[in-house]
Amino acid sequence: MNLTILGCHSATPTASAHPTAQVLEMKGHLFLIDCGEGTQVQLRKYKVKFSRIKHIFISHLHGDHFFGLPGLISTFLLLGREAELHVYGPKGIKEAILLLLKLGKTYTNYPLYFHELEETSPQIIFEDDKLSVETIPLAHRVYTNGFFFKEKPDERKLNVEAARKLNIDLSYYNKIKQGFDVEDKTGKLIPNNDITFDPPPTKSYAYCSDTAYNPEMIPQIEGATVLYHESTFLEEHHHLCEKTKHSTAKEAAVIAKKAKVGTLILGHYSGRYGNLELFRKEAQEVFENVDLAEDGKRFSF
Ligand SMILES: [Zn+2]
């Protein structure tokens, strides 16, 4: 599981601070999560292959999370894309994008599908045999979802040595891999666990931006390998969270601790702070394993 941060700053873009966008590589997929202004330039800068992006997840319709989408969609067109593109986002996103395309008399030559969201409880919005993606309802000024990317367990691996020792016929090996108990040559039932290895533990990534402190998400994301949680402010500006529906670094850390996640990544910093290490310091008073998002930073888990 690899995560590339393309942008992790709130509100207005500057030469050195890009609005929210990130790319998650999981089980062969390359998911684009949010698409702030300039995302396509960041994709080029960090050498992410455009053609590998088939699913784009937009958390909410504030500009710093989706103003890069119309540009990216039209660049795909100019590059001669033929592959399907799926966009998941709040109701209204289809109307907004199609209006821009219509005004420019532009038609995509590739199939473009919108999956509009309006549920306020978690729902699975994408699934295949390797992973699933569910919404994490968030508490922001407009309808907002985080996204929870969860690997599914691989098949158990056959322990050939154990199977041989227990005198199990070769013709049973496929059944064993599928998880069945089988009989040995004397007719005794051998439990599947005795002749297989556990698959590697599954990984998961919870993306939560933007949101006020929202403990309702805790049971859903419990035990996540990684939590990305916005921390727009530090506690000294806590009063700004109420009006803007954002969180502090400390609040993000409380969520991480209560949900018992592996690693917390902070991001969506307000432009008022010069020293981002202050975010780490504040969060680490509550939760030890904290990392800071930075534009261009790659994480592997
Ligand atoms: Zn927002």
Residue 279: HSE in the Cβ half-sphere, 13 Å Cα cutoff: 27
pLDDT band at 102 (very low <50, low <70, confident <90, very high): very high
Residue 26 CA to ligand 1 centre (angstroms): 26
Residue 137 CA to ligand 1 centre (angstroms): 14
pLDDT of residue 88: 98
Residues 6+ apart with CB under 8 A from 113: 84, 85, 86, 87
pLDDT, tens digit (0-9, with 9 covering 90-100), for 21-77: 999 999 999 999 999 999 999 999 999 999 999 999 999 999 999 999 999 999 999
Least confident of 86-90, 102-106, 215-219: 102-106
pLDDT, tens digit (0-9, with 9 covering 90-100), for 223-272: 999 999 999 999 999 999 999 999 999 999 999 999 999 999 999 999 99
What are the backbone dihedrals phi and psi of residue 168, each rounded to the nearest 5 degrees, phi first? -100, 135
Question: With the CA atoms of 234, 237, 240 and 242 taken in that order, what torsion angle do they form, in degrees rounded to the nearest 10?
Answer: 70
User: Is the Cβ–Cβ distance between 280 and 269 less than 8 Å?
Assistant: no
Residue 16 pLDDT greater than 90, yes or no: no
Q: What percent of the chain has pLDDT over 70?
A: 100
Task: Note the pTM of the prediction, 2 decimals.
Answer: 0.92
Residues labelled catalytic = 64
Residue 106 pLDDT greater than 90, yes or no: no
Residue 173 CA to ligand 1 centre (angstroms): 53
